[in-house]
Structure 1
């Protein structure tokens, strides 16, 4: 059985943190820190572990925030020089998952000294990531934080440049939502424009995810972006923009589909079959789509499918799944097959009943099928 993800934050990591902090501040109460951080740690989930260690840091580091931040910075491992993500705490210093509670400490205690805190987070993000810890500064010190991001968009470290994009995402998963940027994403658009052609794929993928966040609330902004930045784009930018378009392609947004050459409605016949007709949670469903072209010219097609999951109240909730991208020749018949898993996941609960499935081509529903999920 795989090791639980939460065990990445463990007793050995706490002790290593205490050792490194004590090396750089001899008055650090290492035993007291460890006692607070380790109390009942094994019974806690991952976030709770990080928060408990942050509590122990607050109780153990100096009240003077500048001094506390300096101790943390001195205890860090050398900064990462490439896109490599395998950060680990070693004899050289702190890095990796201990960065979560360290960032939480800076986010809590640094609100009164935001400039000093942001400098500390810039150092930390080169050893882990400061994308979560910077969120409270965007809420409480927006102009100041954005001004620092404007300067750091050209930082030599790809981890800092990626942080500029990732830390300012409106809807960062697991992170505090930035309501002002959900309502108006325009302040970060110049940053994304600068970073979309970054030499690091790590940075560019963050820009794509940031644009996809914006697409959920302001589809027109991303449609405008595609119309402006897709023509003449090189392979790297095209890959970024395709990833940024994924939500709007699934939604069948006409402007976005047109930008990708997918704006025309499918010409031909379509069939969809789901088997077996009755399945249980944990099983897999086989979907077979058949497309028959009646066109006289090739058709560029984005083929997705929509599962209408039954809810507890008997209603349904649609979820779009990525299917296939293809070019269908004139008069061609194409058979497409995919296995759809019904294994339980943390973000979805399955309920028994008849689930409809729609086949969607270039944003329009062209065929339907159904299956019954058993209790």
Structure 2
């Protein structure tokens, strides 16, 4: 079994922070910090642990914010000199997000220096929330930074619906202020950055589908394979939803004369085994057609209703009069993001986003 995520912040990390801050600030009360940050840590989840350590930093660092940031800055790695890295810096970034709102430029400057050692994407969001225009003016400059972690911070930190983070309601309502940031990073040399851009656009698509479809269309011409991959990933939610503009961007039109037949090799599935799908596709039209095949599993919920989850299958070109058969194994096994319930389920085949065939199956729990 995988190690629980919460164990990334453990008493050893508290000791590491205490030792480093003691070296940087001789007056830092190491023992008090360890007692405050480490007491009862094991009973808490990841973010609760981080906030507990953050609160101990608030207690232990100087009330004067520039002096406190100076100590944290000195605790970062510098050249070949070691310093705090990784999850030890999550509480430090949260400290700045709380204590630094009155020291705007100093705080953002420190978070830029911190982010090569651990992302500051969560910590910059209160600054965007407080003074969006001012924050974005600074963040736009980061797209030209030599460090790819900082460039990614510009896109990831401004995502309207960043997971685990506070949402940015103004950008959810109107995401246009961050489009120049995303445009500047479309051809970033690092996939790590480009994937963040795609995720941000996918966030925006949930509230502004036409805006993202139009954005993708405007940046398709002359696009490199890397940019095309980014734009396709940015459109993934729209493609699953069958958005006409998004489908057209990638050469998918409403299917004509395409018939689909779905047969389940496993009409009854015991939990832990695979649902086995057999799909036959026939093109009765007189033209070649490029089709994207997805499938939605309608999972049963505790109240007996069902909720669909769309999964990718394949993309093929159907010649006139041709028939193609496919087979797919879909695991019905424990995962951390879903709880399964026994009973009737349904699977629906989607062709270019449109329902084309369906079949029911019974899930039997062990």
Give CA deviations for 1:10-62 in whole Å, capped at 9, x if unaligned. Answer: 12211111111111111111111111111111222111111111111111111
Q: Is the 8 A contact 1:306 1:359 kept in 2?
A: yes
* TM-fit CA distance, 1:137: 1.1
| Distance in 2 separating the partners of 1:70 and 1:23 | 13
* TM-fit CA distance, 1:165: 0.3
Q: 1:266 to 1:341 in 2, by over 3 A?
A: farther
| Distance in 2 separating the partners of 1:159 and 1:256 | 30
- Counterpart in 1 of 2:331? 341
- Counterpart in 2 of 1:161? 151
**TM-score under structure 1 length normalisation:** 0.93
Q: Does 1:319 align with 2:309?
A: yes
Q: Is the 8 A contact 1:291 1:335 kept in 2?
A: yes
| Distance in 2 separating the partners of 1:275 and 1:125 | 50
- Counterpart in 2 of 1:25? 25
Q: Is the 8 A contact 2:255 2:289 kept in 1?
A: no
Structure 1, 338-347 or 351-360: larger mean CA deviation:
338-347
Q: Does 1:368 align with 2:351?
A: no
Equivalent positions of 1:1-375 (< 5 A) are 1-78=1-78, 92-375=82-365
Give CA deviations for 1:48-107 in whole Å, capped at 9, x if unaligned. Answer: 11111111111111111111111111111247xxxxxxxxxx971111111211111110
| Distance in 2 separating the partners of 1:266 and 1:340 | 28
Q: Secondary structure at the match of 1:102?
A: helix
Q: Secondary structure at the match of 1:153?
A: helix
Instruction: Provide the aligned length of Structure 1 versus Structure 2.
Output: 365
- Counterpart in 2 of 1:83? none
* TM-fit CA distance, 1:341: 1.9
| Distance in 1 separating the partners of 2:31 and 2:205 | 49
| Distance in 2 separating the partners of 1:360 and 1:59 | 56
* Structure 2 unaligned regions, length at least 5: none
* Structure 1 unaligned regions, length at least 5: 80-89
| Distance in 2 separating the partners of 1:283 and 1:192 | 42
Q: Secondary structure at the match of 2:341?
A: coil
| Distance in 2 separating the partners of 1:373 and 1:186 | 45
| Distance in 1 separating the partners of 2:118 and 2:303 | 42
Give CA deviations for 1:255-313 in whole Å, capped at 9, x if unaligned. Answer: 11011001231533211122321223333211222212223333211100011222222
Q: Is the 8 A contact 1:269 1:293 kept in 2?
A: yes
Q: Secondary structure at the match of 2:26?
A: coil
Q: Is the 8 A contact 1:76 1:95 kept in 2?
A: yes
**TM-score under structure 2 length normalisation:** 0.95
Computed over aligned residues only, the root mean square deviation of the Cα atoms, in angstroms, reads: 1.6
| Distance in 1 separating the partners of 2:270 and 2:93 | 43
